[in-house]
Amino acid sequence: MKRSSGARLSATVAVSLLSLALVTGCSDSGADDSADSGNPGGSKGSGSSSSAPAAEAPTAAELEKLLLAQGEVKGYKVTSGDATLPKSKAAVKTDKAECDPLAWAGAALPPGDTDASAGNSVAEDKASTATAQPEDIEDAFDIDMTYVGLSSYEGDGAQQAVKAVSDGVSACSGGFALAAGGEKTKVTKVAAEKGSGLGDESVAFAEDVDMDGEGTATFHTEVVRKGSTVATFYTVNFAALGSGETAEIPAAVVEAQIAKLK
């Protein structure tokens, strides 16, 4: 793919995947090794999590304070997600209801039923090492950016949210259509992956996305539950779209965020 074509494609898909974060990528169980559990869409600790005593769910204001802040992850810049992330689930739609939780997770929206949520973005901080201006717009996009969402739930809502994502990974393995930010995207495949294994349970998955007929890009998403709070992570490098390269979710970001949760 030519660099100019790649840049245009990056900008176009950015609108759709940013909102959808198709990090919104269909998530799959990453916390546990699904191959060992025999449930590709399953989540670690799901068998015992339902019997754990329910903790008080943080409010939206409390979730804002629990989000990673600037200086808490070395080598990364933290910014508010208000300007780039969708404001509501209504802005992110799929053609299969069971795939909605995957799309919402990628867009830093709650994968379950709750009004308590917050989100931001964490990007590689290359400013301190930069020695020259980017050669073109595609070079300017050459950073890994992770969209982080937090949501909290009463009762067993958090467990149900993770289950919805896990179930969606299996139900949507053949793909689905996504509409976000005025753009339409086709997810051609969803597959479970092994995630961080952090928190009480987690689900990780990869999504293959059609790049407007110019190849396929793979996006990774992870959903982690700690108590009554669910954290979602979706990473994208717009410069790499269509190149065959993928942006992995930074372990340092996931570890630092989960460590802040109650």
Q: Which residue has the higher pLDDT, 25 or 104?
A: 104
Q: Which residue has the higher pLDDT, 52 or 30?
A: 52
Q: Specify which residues 218 forms β-bridges with.
A: 208
pTM higher than 0.85:
no
- d(CA 248, CA 196) in angstroms, rounded, equals 12
- 46-56 residue pLDDT tens: 333 444 445 58
Which single residue is written with the structure tokens 């340092």?
A: 252
Judge residue 142's burial from the number of C-beta atoms within 10 Å of its C-beta, 0-12 exposed, 13-18 middle, 19 or more buried: middle
- d(CA 92, CA 96) in angstroms, rounded, equals 12
Q: Which residue has the higher pLDDT, 84 or 102?
A: 102
- 96-147 residue pLDDT tens: 999 999 999 999 999 999 999 999 999 999 775 544 455 554 555 678 899 9
pLDDT of 232 above 80: yes
pLDDT of residue 142: 78
Q: What angle do CA 209, 163, 33 make, to 5 degrees?
A: 75
- 182-225 residue pLDDT tens: 888 899 999 999 999 999 999 999 999 988 877 788 999 999 99
CATH superfamily of the 3-260 domain: PknH-like extracellular domain (3.40.1000.70)
> Would you list the domain boundaries of the chain?
3-260
Query: What is the torsional sign of CA 110, 235, 142, 244?
Result: negative
